[in-house]
Amino acid sequence: MAYIMPPMKRLFQTPWFWPLLVIVVVILAALPVVLYPLGRDQGMYANIGRSIVDGGMPYISMWDIKPPPIYYLYAAAIAVLGPSVGAVRALDLMLMPIALLATYLLGSGLGNRRTGLFAALFLGVFYFSESFENLTQSDSLALVPTTLAAWTAYLASTSDRASRRAIIYSLLTGLLCGVLLWFKQYYAFFVLALVIHQIWQRRALPIKEALAFVIGGLLTGGTILLIFASQGILNEMLIVAQGTAAYNAQGYALDEFLFGMGNGLMSRWLRWSPVMIGTVAWYLLAFARRGRPAWRLIWLWMLAALAFLLIQAKGFDTHWLPLLPPMCLFTADVVDWLIGKFVGTQHAALVDSENTVGTQHAALIDNANPVGTQHAASENVHTLQAIIAFIVAVGALFILIANTWIPVLPWLTGRAAQHDYYSGFVAGDLRAAESLDVVQYLQERLAPDDSIFIYGFRPEVAFMGQWRPATRF
């Protein structure tokens, strides 16, 4: 009779089961993000997004200093889900699964399935553990096209040279890079890293692949350029670029640079210390593991992210975010190596030693089958590795839950008010509880869609109350 695998075991062995499970668990653990208040930046993006939904244009109807993709993402969320704080906060939950899946695929290709699962898990945990002012930002949501472009670039570089597959993935990489460059011009460092990796991998300039990459970039980046030119907003965007460059230049003074980077590094250490340690460990282990040449793409990505951080010279938390995916990949590789090294090699040797004696004794008694014994030993090792991987995953998820669910439970269970929950959200001079107080005060005196002017920069108040800013600035 043929052996029929139990349904649950078949499900566990389905290739897509585990990555989808990781993504679903991360999103469930991150659900309270939709209850986060808006920071100043998010408030501005939301007001501009609402003006776009109403037929306006960025920089013309309402002015801000960011490139346009973030405004259109907010506009899409508002158009689909309505003009609410939860609607724009849902952008993270809707888009980041794409980045998690791309990270899983990249990690699986460079290492194994467990490496990919850990990488996706770590990225989800440390991304959604960010403070409220750093989520739903231009640089945070840019991780989606960044990780996708890294994955397609990896597929292009591992395909046969000038093959149809290599050309298709080069085209896709170009399409994604064309979009990414509109998030911020400094993502050109990342694009350059992909180009260097492809040339390095091929040991020459692959003309057909390069042409496909350029065509892809022109199709998206060029089309977006033509659209903005037709809308008459390019001049405003040039003013934004000039102002941003001048603003960044203020940080090039050595004392300002060191102060900003020092603060940023301390902030990142408090939030990212596990993956920072994992990244350092990966580079140290790389010498013992002969450099890990297959991971060249990731450390080039890391260098590009460092350049992205340094050229802006401010050390803001969001400027560090492009470093997160490569750091999570490095850490996942280290964790997988440690599990295999100490649970695989040493435990297997111990089991084999014990089974050798057992097999010899059994052979004298009943001529036992050594192949079955070896299979059992292998199963024991795999089971122990799975248990340790599960413990690591639970520990990582606890970090996320401690940052999302635990603070919100008193409000959700009626033991605290929304004001109490918002009191925990502070960023510089912004106190979310104060913004909520202002909104509730004004709601008693104004109607939705009224025009409002607030002295000082308080765009989050206007959006939360559904009022329209009186000026375009």
Count CA atoms within 13 Å of residue 315 on its CB side: 19
The angle at the Cα of 212, spanning 210 to 216, to the nearest 5 degrees, equals: 115
| Residues 345-372: b if buried by 16+ CB within 10 A, e if exposed | eeebeebeeebeeebeeeeeeeeeeeee
Encode the chain (473 residues) as per-residue pLDDT tens digits: 455 556 666 777 788 899 999 999 999 999 999 999 999 999 999 999 999 999 998 888 888 888 899 999 999 999 999 999 999 999 999 999 999 999 999 999 999 999 999 999 999 999 999 999 999 999 999 999 999 999 999 999 999 998 999 999 999 999 999 999 999 999 999 999 999 999 999 888 789 999 999 999 999 999 999 988 888 888 888 887 777 777 777 778 889 899 999 999 999 999 999 999 999 999 999 887 776 788 999 999 999 999 999 999 899 999 999 999 999 999 999 999 999 988 875 444 434 444 444 444 434 434 445 555 555 666 788 889 999 999 999 999 999 999 999 999 999 999 999 999 999 999 988 999 999 999 999 999 999 989 988 877 789 999 999 999 888 76
Ordered alpha helix ranges (H), 289-345 = 296-312, 317-320, 324-339
Query: Count H helices, E strands: the chain?
Result: 22, 4
Alpha helices in 206-289 (DSSP H): 207-217, 223-231, 234-249, 254-288
Query: Mapping DSSP to helix (H, G, I), strand (E, B) and coil, where does residue 431 land?
Result: strand
Reported as type and span, the H/E element at residue 61 is none
Displacement of CA 169 from its chain's centroid (Å)? 21
176 token code pair: 């994604």
